[in-house]
Structure 1
Amino acid sequence: MAGASGGALAAQTSAAGAFGFVGAGYMTPSRIQDELSLARAQLLLSDEDPLPIGVGYLAWQLEKDPPSGVDLLDVSLSNRVQAIWLAFGNSIGRWIEYIRSYDARSGRERGRKTLIFVQVSSVKEALIAIQDWKVDVLVAQGSESGGHGYSATLPLLTLVPSILAVLPRDGPPLLAAGGLSTGGHVAALLVLGVSGVVLGTRFLVTEESCYNEVQKKVLVMASGNDTVRTTAFDRARGTLDWPEGVDGRAIYNKTVADVDGGVDIKTVRENFNKATQDRDPDRMLVWAGTGVDLVTEIQTAQDVVREIVADMMKHLSFVSTLIAT
């Protein structure tokens, strides 16, 4: 959720009993610090207190300039965040080693280690994360996810059972991500066997989200059929350093139509930049998963968490009646 999940959203999500992440994305170390300070203030924590949120990093961003990558990670680690999320890189194992060595050097007491979440899109990636990296939490991202993902990824209801089939009994918890918006979605995945789920698009449309009001309105008005997997927005923004095979799911608009229609990329970028400045929904970027059709109003993050939990319990109760019958 780069560009959307800052300190306020992460803090309020965790305060409600879920677990919030700051999406570091393209942030500088000083910007990450600002967001973590905001989260700490909202949670009424001192500078010495552990911070019960996570920070998500694009591993390829760390890999572009490793010394700068270390600086980016150090900001979160020095703030004693509870977790680091890594995705989309060719040397993720290197950063996992660094995080663990940082914990060892800093003398964190037993049980206070930084949890490492790694996002995967295939059984092969999952096995590497489990066997080689010994990750703490595994996140399976299906093709329904909003934002970036591998274009060849399987749908979530196929990917999750495939990973569960090879997951050792003493393996890490498996979380599911992709197109999930409701408590019914959460219940369905829990019944399937995951330990938890990750929701993105639902939290884009919260008061604490860094998305602007135009983007939020686009999401509230959108249907699931309005999303498309594309590289158009990365081409328009010039963010083309993603690993091979990665594209992004967003709301289809004139920027995508222009790229698909062969419009000169310079013109595409000029139109896109102007639309971003003017907040023109016809060309600006709005990431969204396939579950956007079920996102119908702007709420606080805490209200979203409470609503999802209530809906989840209703569906799980129904499942229990089926078992009893």
Structure 2
Amino acid sequence: MALGTNAQTAVEVTRSGGFGFVGAALSTPEILKQDFAFIRTSFPNLEPNKPLPVGYGFVGWLLDKNEEAGKRMIDIVIENGVQAIWLAFGNDIGRWVDYVRSSPANARAHRDRRPLIFVQVTSVEEALVAANEWKVDVIVAQGTEAGGHGGSATPSTFVLLSEILAALPQDGTAPPVIAAGGMANGTQVAAYLTLGAAGAVLGTRFLLTPESPYTDAQKAALLAARTAGPCATVRTLALDYAGDTAYWPVHINGRGIRNKIVDDVEAGVDHATVQARCKVATEVGDQSYMIVWAGQGVALMNEIKPIKDVMAELHADLVKQLQKSQRLLKD
């Protein structure tokens, strides 16, 4: 969610009872400096040696593309004392897991605890490597319903989570697994918790907030997608062709709003033409030809509201559903 999150969204999620991440794939050292100045002022009562209650996410293949720049970005994040680092979408994520642990920035951070390492997986095989070889702190099981990038052949979140939980040791030694993909409300979160997830990740729901850096036109496209139902989104590389970002690992593509970009790519329009049309549409706010990443849960979203209200609604729905489930045991 490099273009859908920022320091403000992460802070507001954490303040409201969740744990906020910033997608830092396209950040720079200058942006990070501004981020951490804002984050520190947002938690004025935080004890000096305590980690900042937010996380930062990085894309593996982008780190690989410029190794020294990638290491510098990770060092800056560690030096500023974040509580967690999230890694995804790389052909050699393990080397970046090792770097987070061995970074000299850990010594400079003057903290007792290194950042927790979250690794996003799209298959059982990836989960087993993350758990058994990399010894990560948290596994994020991302199903096909997820917005943005993910596995092109990944099963549903329900199936993937079930398979991963069944494959991991049952003796309490496995890292916690959290579910990601397609969730829009607390009822869905409750379902994954009862399935065995240690938590849940929501992304698209926070795009429909005043704090999200998504443009008004993109947010309008998300709201309009509700009327299209399950067909509103599609897994494709068309949006990457339009944005000239089709450099992901071979098993990765993206899910976004289906629009004329997808129609043109499927019809064989050359990518340069698609990119030119997309650039113009983005400049004028033409929703029919702009890149809008979104998960399948967008069909259940119908309004823009502040993050604190989204979090309160999610919590209320979650508690209500879990209480309802408990009543089933009494009947």
| CA distance 1:45–1:57, change in 2 (3 Å) | farther
1:244 to 236, 250, 259: 250
The normalised TM-score by structure 1 is 0.96
CA distance in 1, matches of 2:221, 2:38: 27
Unmatched tracts of structure 1, length 5 or more: none
**1:30 matched to 2:30:** yes
Equivalent residue number for residue 180 of structure 1: 183
1:312 to 308, 318, 323: 318
CA distance in 1, matches of 2:106, 2:207: 36
CA offset digits 1:135-170 (Å, max 9, x no partner): 000000000000000110011111111000012221
CA distance in 2, matches of 1:202, 1:114: 26
| CA distance 1:307–1:94, change in 2 (3 Å) | same
Equivalent residue number for residue 95 of structure 2: 94
Equivalent residue number for residue 278 of structure 1: 284
Paired residues of 1:33 and 1:76 also in contact (CA < 8 A): no
Equivalent residue number for residue 4 of structure 2: 4
How far is the alpha carbon of 1:119 from its aligned partner? 0.2
Aligned length, in residue pairs: 324
Out of 178-187 and 275-284, give the one that drifted further.
275-284
CA offset digits 1:156-215 (Å, max 9, x no partner): 111111000012221111000010010000000000000000000101111111101111
**1:131 matched to 2:132:** yes
* Amino acid corresponding to residue 257 of structure 1 in structure 2: D
CA distance in 1, matches of 2:4, 2:45: 23
How far is the alpha carbon of 1:46 from its aligned partner? 7.4
* Amino acid corresponding to residue 233 of structure 1 in structure 2: L
Paired residues of 2:16 and 2:311 also in contact (CA < 8 A): yes
CA distance in 2, matches of 1:287, 1:139: 19
Question: How big is the alpha-carbon RMSD for the aligned residues of Structure 1 and Structure 2?
Answer: 1.5
**1:194 matched to 2:197:** yes
How far is the alpha carbon of 1:44 from its aligned partner? 3.0
Equivalent residue number for residue 75 of structure 2: 74
Q: Please give the secondary structure, in 2, of the residue aligned with 1:319.
A: helix
Paired residues of 2:117 and 2:136 also in contact (CA < 8 A): yes
CA distance in 2, matches of 1:284, 1:107: 41
Give the % identical residues: 46
How far is the alpha carbon of 1:25 from its aligned partner? 1.9
Paired residues of 2:78 and 2:106 also in contact (CA < 8 A): no
CA distance in 1, matches of 2:106, 2:219: 42
**1:219 matched to 2:219:** no
Out of 123-132 and 88-97, give the one that drifted further.
88-97
Unmatched tracts of structure 2, length 5 or more: none
* Amino acid corresponding to residue 37 of structure 1 in structure 2: A
CA distance in 2, matches of 1:89, 1:101: 19
Equivalent residue number for residue 230 of structure 1: 236
* Amino acid corresponding to residue 8 of structure 1 in structure 2: Q
2:265 to 259, 262, 266: 259
Q: Please give the secondary structure, in 2, of the residue aligned with 1:225.
A: helix
How far is the alpha carbon of 1:104 from its aligned partner? 5.0
CA distance in 2, matches of 1:247, 1:36: 31
CA distance in 2, matches of 1:45, 1:37: 14
CA offset digits 1:276-298 (Å, max 9, x no partner): 11121010111110000111111
CA distance in 2, matches of 1:187, 1:163: 18
Paired residues of 1:54 and 1:85 also in contact (CA < 8 A): yes
Equivalent residue number for residue 41 of structure 1: 41
Once the two structures are superposed, the pairs formed by residues 159-178 of structure 1 within 5 Å of their partners are 159-168=160-169, 169-178=172-181
Out of 173-182 and 219-228, give the one that drifted further.
219-228
Out of 159-168 and 29-38, give the one that drifted further.
29-38
Equivalent residue number for residue 105 of structure 1: 107
CA offset digits 1:213-237 (Å, max 9, x no partner): 1111111221332101110111111
Equivalent residue number for residue 143 of structure 2: 142
Equivalent residue number for residue 57 of structure 2: 56
Paired residues of 1:176 and 1:198 also in contact (CA < 8 A): yes
How far is the alpha carbon of 1:42 from its aligned partner? 2.6
CA distance in 1, matches of 2:316, 2:99: 39
Equivalent residue number for residue 152 of structure 2: 151
